């Protein structure tokens, strides 16, 4: 991902993304859900359409997708996303299969196959697990399959977990040696603070990541 030839201007970075071949796309739950918090199939299909068009133009996409809990809680009779960890994990185990079924059906309309990969954070501390994940993802890409990655919420513990899929997406980008990492959210840009806070300023382009980290107040995102 670190290409010294990339021109560090907004236009230069946008151009490099357009030319990238291996791309990791991360989509959060908020971009896949309705106002009730449940999975919005129309939003999912719109995402699949965009990714499929990129694939047709020669890109190799790895999708890091939240949404398992959103897909599962309604089926289990809950009116809203559960708050306690055990119920979240149980809901994710039900919802992950439903989420993948929706992705499989949507991508099949464009002639693409998908492969599910559920990772736990110990892949970051175990060289053998890291290599296994890398071999699988790279082989899926070679076969023309779109890997769909999520944290294995049913098995992850509070002691060792990614916490949100932004971190997972960064790891996946490293694993597949991606040339671009795209984070899709329901917020139109980076802000110096949560957009709802008074005085929050929009940051359209970040040429210096270290400085941005110092200046931006980070809020927590949600996995699952």
Are residues 43 and 31 in contact, defined by beta-carbon separation less than 8 angstroms?
A: yes
Sheet holding 114-119, edge to edge: 114-119, 146-151, 60-65, 22-27, 180-184
Question: Range of 92's domain?
Answer: 10-215
pTM: 0.84
Cα Rg of the chain, angstroms: 18
Banded model confidence at residue 159, pLDDT cuts 50, 70, 90: very low
Banded model confidence at residue 188, pLDDT cuts 50, 70, 90: confident
Are residues 95 and 116 in contact, defined by beta-carbon separation less than 8 angstroms?
A: no
Q: What are phi and psi of 150, to 5 degrees?
A: -150, 160
pLDDT of residue 180: 92
pLDDT of residue 111: 98
- pLDDT tens by residue, 128-146: 999 999 999 999 999 999 9
Query: Is 4 contained in some domain?
Result: no
Whether residue 195 has pLDDT greater than 90: no
Query: Is 134 contained in some domain?
Result: yes
Q: How many domains does the chain have?
A: 1
Average pLDDT over the chain, rounded to whole? 86
- pLDDT tens by residue, 22-64: 999 999 999 999 998 999 999 999 999 999 999 999 999 999 9
Query: Is 5 contained in some domain?
Result: no
Whether residue 216 has pLDDT greater than 70: no
Query: Is 224 contained in some domain?
Result: no
Which helix (H) or strand (E) is 44 found in, with range? helix 41-56
Whether residue 5 has pLDDT greater than 50: yes
Query: Is 222 contained in some domain?
Result: no
Query: Is 220 contained in some domain?
Result: no
Banded model confidence at residue 12, pLDDT cuts 50, 70, 90: confident
Q: How far apart are CA 166 and CA 67, in angstroms?
A: 14
Are residues 216 and 203 in contact, defined by beta-carbon separation less than 8 angstroms?
A: yes
For 126, the token pair is 């175990």
Query: Is 223 contained in some domain?
Result: no
pLDDT of residue 73: 94
Query: Is 113 contained in some domain?
Result: yes
For 205, the token pair is 């382009």
Q: How many CB atoms lie within 10 A of CB 198?
A: 5
- pLDDT tens by residue, 64-112: 999 999 999 999 999 999 999 899 999 999 999 999 999 999 999 999 9
pLDDT of residue 158: 57
pLDDT above 90 as % of the chain: 60
pLDDT above 70 as % of the chain: 85
CATH classification of the domain holding 111 = 3.40.1160.10
């Amino acid at each position: 991902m670190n290409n010294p030839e990339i021109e560090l201007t907004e236009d230069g970075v946008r151009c490099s993304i357009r030319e990238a071949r291996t791309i990791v796309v991360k989509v959060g739950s908020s971009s896949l859900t309705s106002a009730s918090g449940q999975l919005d199939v129309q939003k999912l299909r719109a995402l699949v359409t965009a990714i499929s068009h990129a694939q047709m133009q020669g890109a190799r996409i790895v999708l890091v997708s939240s949404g398992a809990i959103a897909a599962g809680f309604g089926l289990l009779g809950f009116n809203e996303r559960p708050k306690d960890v055990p119920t979240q994990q149980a809901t994710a185990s039900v919802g992950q299969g439903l989420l993948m079924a929706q992705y499989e059906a949507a991508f099949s309309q464009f002639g693409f196959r998908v492969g599910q990969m559920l990772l736990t954070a110990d892949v970051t501390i175990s060289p053998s697990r890291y290599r296994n994940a890398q071999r699988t993802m790279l082989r899926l890409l070679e076969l023309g399959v779109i890997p769909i990655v999520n944290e294995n919420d049913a098995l992850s513990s509070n002691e060792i977990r990614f916490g949100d899929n932004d971190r997972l997406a960064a790891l996946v980008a490293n694993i597949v040696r991606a040339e671009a990492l795209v984070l899709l959210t329901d917020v139109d840009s980076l802000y110096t603070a949560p957009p709802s806070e008074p005085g929050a300023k929009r940051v359209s382009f970040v040429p210096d990541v270290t400085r941005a980290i110092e200046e931006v107040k980070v809020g927590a995102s949600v996995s699952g």
